[in-house]
Amino acid sequence: MSLIIDNVSKSVDGEIHLQDIHLTMQKGSFNTLLGPTLSGKTSLLRLLAGLDKPTSGRIMMGGQDLSSIPVWKRNVSMVYQQFINYPHLDIYENIAFPLRRAGLAKAEIDRKVRATAETLRIDELLRRSPGELSGGQQQRTALARSLVKGADLLLLDEPLINLDYKLREEFHDEFTNIFADNRDTIIIYSSTDPLESLLLGGDILVLDEGRQLQHGPTHDVYRNPRMEAVARVFNDPQMNMINGRVENGRIVLGQGLTLPRSTHMTDLREGKYRFGLRANALGLSRASADDVELEARVELGEINGSETFVHIHHNEVSWVVQEDGVHTHSLGQVIRVYFNPEYLFAFDEKGMLAAAPKYVPGSGTAEE
């Protein structure tokens, strides 16, 4: 059973929320929906759930147009950002709720509820009420309820965004197990966090301002962002973008930082380009003999979890360097940063990808 989103658009009061979304997802696939806030992720999930109707286009499931099927007859589950559970029911009854509505036999309901609760490690809490649980446990309950009925379509709308950093990491580890033996469900997981998408793997749909920018296997999209906008959305901190040109067989970045043309750039025609460099491709120490050295002034040091983002200024251009671990830099301090030109992306004047590095640090997979 495949899900076909056929040229779907959605606008509300003249404001466009989604425009010409067109893609197919296969049964058993795991898909992330990546985009910044207001990019249309929730709008798309609500259309797929049947909670809203598309302004134009069709959504098909297993060859059947879903538009005439009301929400309660579709076999869809959704987990929200907020922790939504039935406050008047205990955890057991919360998980059993969709099964009771479906009219399953008592023994089967009991078996399924207990198995799912165990998977989500809330089997000790079955007689508690949602109000007595922590945020993480409440979201586990909501996840259990969405998993237990074996829906054709499981929609997860930034389910971890309201949890703290530690709990998010815990969930990420568990998700790999929970979703590992999924064969029948199409799972769509929306996220604003590029790192989360990379961790979860599967396929990705990159959305920005209601438009579908790129759809494909997550790691392929990370390595070959089709356009500058994808690279922008799919990196945190954002990819460093520097105006430059290819001139006399060499690459010129910004105000005259001249580099030799690395192997993946040999096919580039002469002309203007925007060069992209991920923050994690820049380092404060020399990693190889090919590294280019920049002398730059520190503008800001930003500590983000277990990483430090150092904002630097070099020759009229601002860069962000991602440094592992927590470090402090004094403002205005002059430091040396290094990068390998092998890691440069090149986008043409229309913003489309012209050259992508062969190796990508931090993509999380073994390099070919």
Partner 1 sequence: MLGLYRFLKYSAILLWSAFVAGPFLWALTTSFKTSEGIVSGATYIPWLQYKPSLDGWGVLFRRGGQGIDIVDPYLASLTVTLSASAISLVLGTLAAYGLSRFSYKAGPIKNADITFFFISQRIMPPIVLSIPFFLMLQAFGLLDTKLGLIIVYVALLMPIAVWVMIDFFHNIPVELDETAMLDGCRPVETFFRVILPNCKPGLVVAGLFCLIFGWNDFFFAFMLTFTKTQLLPVAVVALNSSVTPWWSLSASALVSVAPLVILAFVVEKYLSRGNLAGAIK
Residues that bind partner 1 (CB under 8 A): 49, 51, 70-72, 74, 76-78, 80, 82-88, 97-98, 101-102, 129-131, 135, 138, 145, 149
Query: Residue 103 CB, nearest distance to partner 1 (Å)?
Result: 9
Q: Which is nearer to partner 1, 38 or 71 (CB)?
A: 71
Q: Which is nearer to partner 1, 85 or 214 (CB)?
A: 85
Distance CA 223, CA 278 (A): 11
Query: Residue 27 CB, nearest distance to partner 1 (Å)?
Result: 19
Query: Residue 134 CB, nearest distance to partner 1 (Å)?
Result: 11
Query: Residue 166 CB, nearest distance to partner 1 (Å)?
Result: 19
- Residue written as tokens 């973008």? 241
Signed CA dihedral, 116, 122, 123, 127: sign only: negative
Query: Residue 52 CB, nearest distance to partner 1 (Å)?
Result: 10
Asked whether 273 and 347 are in contact (CB, 8 A), the reply is: yes
Q: Which is nearer to partner 1, 27 or 74 (CB)?
A: 74
Q: Which is nearer to partner 1, 50 or 194 (CB)?
A: 50
Q: Which is nearer to partner 1, 143 or 353 (CB)?
A: 143
Q: Which is nearer to partner 1, 32 or 42 (CB)?
A: 42
Query: Residue 73 CB, nearest distance to partner 1 (Å)?
Result: 8
Q: Which is nearer to partner 1, 154 or 360 (CB)?
A: 154
Q: Which is nearer to partner 1, 84 or 268 (CB)?
A: 84
Q: Which is nearer to partner 1, 120 or 265 (CB)?
A: 120
Q: Which is nearer to partner 1, 153 or 251 (CB)?
A: 153
Query: Residue 72 CB, nearest distance to partner 1 (Å)?
Result: 5
Query: Residue 83 CB, nearest distance to partner 1 (Å)?
Result: 5
* Burial status of residue 46 (CB atoms within 10 A of its CB: 0-12, 13-18, 19 or more): middle
If DSSP states are collapsed to H, E and C, what string results for the chain?
CCEEEEEEEEEECCEEEEEEEEEEECCCCEEEEECCCCCCHHHHHHHHHCCCCCCEEEEEECCEEHHHCCHHHCCEEEECCCCCCCCCCCHHHHHHHHHHHCCCCHHHHHHHHHHHHHHCCCCCCCCCCHHHCCHHHHHHHHHHHHHHCCCCEEEEECCCCCCCHHHHHHHHHHHHHHCCCCCCCEEEEEECCHHHHHHHCCEEEEEECCEEEEEEEHHHHHHCCCEHHHHHHCCCCCCEEEEEEEECCEEEECCCEEEECCHHHCCCCCEEEEEEECHHHEECCCCCCCCEEEEEEEEEEEEECCEEEEEEEECCEEEEEEEECCCCCCCCCEEEEEECHHHCEEECCCCEEEECCCCCCCCCCCCC
- Residue written as tokens 């929906």? 33
Query: Residue 105 CB, nearest distance to partner 1 (Å)?
Result: 16
Distance CA 247, CA 261 (A): 10
Query: Residue 80 CB, nearest distance to partner 1 (Å)?
Result: 5
